[in-house]
Amino acid sequence: MKKIERRDFLKKSSLAVAGASVLTACNSKSESSGPAIINKKKYEWKMVTTWPPHFPIVGEGADKLAKEIEEVSEGQLKIRVYGGGELVPALESFDAVSQGIAEMGHGASYYWAGKIPASQFFTSLPFGMNSIQSFAWLQNGGGNELWKEAYESFNLIPFSAGCTGGQMGGWFNKQIKSANDLKGLKIRIPGIGGKVYTKAGGSAILSAGGEIYTNLERGVIDAAEWIGPYHDYLMGFHKISKYYYYPGWHEPTGVLELLVNKSAFESLPKNLQNLIEVTAASYNIKMLSEFEAKNVEYLEKIKNETDVKVEKFSDDVLDSFKKYSEEVIEEIVTSDPMSKKVYDSYSKFQKGSNKWVEMSQSNYNIS
């Protein structure tokens, strides 16, 4: 690789500034040379979500995203948000947007693994990248392009639009001392994590968020994974579960997804297309920041105000999870070419990123 000298860097920086000035001048001249044609047609869209109506942070985030688009567009694009079950069942959001019943959907891509196996790689991977690494891969490592390619045949355009950050391992009504304790366990958990529990001898059950408490309370399931301390506390899991385990090996992050019907998106003027893309991206950091702040507060509440035992998975259990995770991922990528293409990109980026994370962050002593 050609070495870039400091003087060359400064020279190129100066030329870039000069070029920007010329472009600004050209644009000003161009704008004054004729009347601008602005499409002010108004659009009314529907957004379906996988979340209970107005659910804290994630459901509220979808509400705020829609409101912000309406305000910034000065009412040109108005979006009505429906919580899971209000217009269509929560886990039918993908089909609703694909078919044009709604123009938008908000949820998590791993819910669609049955339709697109590769979709689950865009939410999170067991023992995978953290939130910032995931954003870097999506934005600058080719992830977004692969995401769009995976959804192309469904007439959908995906955007990352929110993030839960790192998660907890879940709520259990029995102590998990070793990998043997996973056998026969019925747990609500989506994505690859669910397949890992199945390999470990348990049973993974996928259900919408609004059904988890009732299923756990009635013994339909023995354990449940949701998000983290803030949401888990609000859901009341501490009232019906004895143990709260960490770390969330199955979801080191949780990138959320804005689905947009491709035909509807392409019918919009360019300014509204850009507005959707920019607004969606802004909710990555907005949601992540709120999660980080709330989880700190509510973890302390769980520790100090409840009888729940907050425990770490043993090394034996984590080693089993890692082994089975590798097996599940291998099975997915060998049976689905798109999944292999996505995972090859993801894993290559992760290897390089981990080296940088280790160098830049491992020297911090967090106490």
Q: Residue 274's pLDDT is what?
A: 98
Domain coverage including residue 204: 170-251+298-336
Residues 194 and 326 both lie in one domain: yes
Work out how many domains the chain is built from and give that number.
Answer: 2
3-class secondary structure, 137: helix
Closest CA to 123 of 39, 184, 192: 192
CB 219 within 8 A of CB 127: no
Closest CA to 56 of 231, 232, 308, 261: 231
Residues 306 and 194 both lie in one domain: yes
Residues 131 and 257 both lie in one domain: yes
Residues 94 and 222 both lie in one domain: no
Pairwise CA distance, residues 237 & 241, whole Å: 6
Q: Residue 315's pLDDT is what?
A: 96
**How are beta strands 43-49 and 104-107 bridged, if at all?**
parallel
| 281 inside domain | yes
Residues 118 and 245 both lie in one domain: no
Q: Residue 9's pLDDT is what?
A: 39
Q: Residue 40's pLDDT is what?
A: 84
pTM for the whole structure: 0.86
Q: Residue 15's pLDDT is what?
A: 43
3-class secondary structure, 47: strand
Pairwise CA distance, residues 258 & 263, whole Å: 15
Residues 125 and 47 both lie in one domain: yes
Looking up tokens 């998975």 gives 313
Q: Residue 7's pLDDT is what?
A: 52
Pairwise CA distance, residues 232 & 245, whole Å: 12
Closest CA to 45 of 75, 88, 4: 75
Last residue of a domain, which of 238, 273, 291? 291
Q: Which regions in the chain score pLDDT beneath 50? A: 1-2, 4, 6, 9-37
Q: Residue 259's pLDDT is what?
A: 98
Residues 244 and 257 both lie in one domain: no
